[in-house]
Chain A
């Protein structure tokens, strides 16, 4: 259903690839978790599937289409076969639940009779009967995500992509959303879910793809979130940050702090000034005073 063949994606204005030589295959009807820390390339992977982005090199095949050779006018047809759900739901705030779901069919030219039949069915599938006339802000987070899922599957796509669909939800609601996704999967839809949610991944025992720094480092059937690995990686990120701080101090850049540098300096200033007070080191104390100016 989805095939990546040594896919590399490098964004413009960036030297490091967001995805580096990733090869993977997801079969029809599979349920796959994509895990990895922020910036590891999960979202890029999903964006490549709906051709929101194009691969820099390598081949991407989705639902029998070679996306590199797909003409622009073929992209809408591809996206009708791939439903997408996001962490922030992306509902239209001034449309009701029913209108939000119907919108997805209206804009692809479905007839009124099809809409009248399909939308209530789909809303029943996701467990939102009786809430058709509510506006998104009158719903809980979990309910809003159900609307978003209903919108994604109302056109009966063969693939459902979910980019951290439980990122804004509490654990109990997350579990419900996962159950819903599993139900949709059992009905035949291929589901690819990018997530940070340890518990859900560990409980479900499904195939796990792990990305780290744009590389596919693990493809494990019935896998877990890989807590240990992430902990090590977390420590590594902290160490890198620390290095950057040290370099910033060494350079003692006199320019006005802007954006990120200012953020980086703040904690640093406190540690150093307190350190200088106890050790009495003149050089670091000088740095600290300059920093304060």
Chain B
């Protein structure tokens, strides 16, 4: 088989079957875009985990006058109790990395600053806040050591672990990304069926050529190659477009907008798109080859 001849036949084939080729390109594009979004969402979760688990803190809330916490009994933590807790925390290094004290007034000020654009900030009163020790950990998974030591200790209102909050958020992100992947699986199924239909239709419209090729003794590979090539080229084109869209989404949507709007969070970037790119391209190529091979085995008998 001469390369020039193969390429010539490939171009003629694509041109003659343009609408079908375009539909394969588009369906592949959409399915791969969804798959890419799903994969990128997973990477986003990983990135955020890395970022947040380094910053995760355990808050040890103390009691204030009229505190709601059952353990307080309505009494404020005494200075002695507070110092007792502080020294206990200091002794717990290394799992504990850092300890700092935040008073009720400081907590209230920080909240007002964070929500200054929201009605929440105006409605809040200082009484809703408590003095607390903020404990950052060297290893986020060791939070339970802190929790178990201080839960129910005298003068401690409540021990709150931020990781639990984050985990709930990450679980939600996971569900979103899996939904995208499931949706993309459905689209991939559509793409496979469309490829198979296209090949069937093309095989039928070209039965004259393939009949003559068989008659003059062209090998199986020669007869099937144009069909496989057409499918592979269309689907790679679709995957390429999908990657371009993903790149644009991340470049302008995430890097260009989200990460500027939310400065205190880590986001995925263009390198992440480049990381999923080869998988998407390779997967699509494999899919196209396997689909066309299976279809041709049925519809292009030699």
> Chain A interface (Cβ within 8 Å of chain B)?
50, 72-73, 75-81, 83-84, 90, 92, 103-104, 106-109, 111-112, 151-152, 155
Contact = CB atoms under 8 A, between A and B. Distances in A.
Nearest to A100: B212
B302 A75 contact: yes
A111 B217 contact: no
B70 interface: no
A104 B216 contact: yes
Contact of B212 (A103, A109, A155): A103
Contact of A107 (B208, B213, B302): B213
B215 A84 contact: yes
Interface stretch (B150-158, B178-186, B218-226, B235-243): B218-226
B253 interface: no
11 contacts: A73-B220, A75-B217, A79-B216, A79-B217, A80-B216, A90-B211, A92-B212, A103-B212, A103-B216, A107-B1, A152-B216
B208 A155 contact: no
B200 to A, nearest CB: 21
Given A107-B213, A107-B216, A111-B2, 11 more contacts: A72-B220, A76-B219, A79-B217, A80-B216, A90-B215, A104-B216, A106-B5, A107-B223, A109-B2, A109-B222, A151-B212
A104 B5 CA distance: 12
A112 B2 contact: yes
A151 B222 contact: no
Nearest to B214: A79
A109 B214 CA distance: 14
A155 B216 CA distance: 9
Classify the secondary structure of B's interface with A.
helix
Contacts, number: 58
Interface string B286-302: 00000000000000001
A81 B217 CA distance: 8
B220 A76 contact: yes
Interface in B140-171: none
Nearest to B5: A106
A77 B219 CA distance: 8
Contact of A106 (B2, B215, B217, B219): B2
B208 A151 contact: no
Nearest to A82: B217
A80 B217 contact: yes
A92 B216 contact: no
Contact of A108 (B209, B211, B218, B220): B218
Contacts of B1: 107, 109
Contact of B215 (A50, A81, A111): A50
A107 B218 contact: yes
Nearest to A102: B5
A90 B208 contact: yes
A151 B216 contact: yes
Contacts of B223: 107
Nearest to A93: B208
Given A107-B222, A108-B222, A109-B222, A78 B217 contact: yes
Contacts of B208: 90, 92
A108 B2 contact: no
Contacts of A50: 215
A18 B175 CA distance: 64
Nearest to B209: A92
Interface in B1-50: 1-2, 5
A100 to B, nearest CB: 9
Contacts of A107: 1, 213, 216, 218, 222-223
B5 A72 contact: no
A108 B219 CA distance: 7
Which A-B residue pairs are the 9 nearest by beta carbons? A80-B217, A79-B217, A107-B218, A104-B216, A76-B217, A76-B219, A107-B213, A109-B1, A106-B5
Nearest to A75: B302
Given A90-B211, A92-B208, A108 B216 contact: yes
A83 B217 CA distance: 9
B9 to A, nearest CB: 9
A255 to B, nearest CB: 33
A104 B223 CA distance: 12
Contacts of A90: 208, 211-212, 215
Contacts of B5: 106
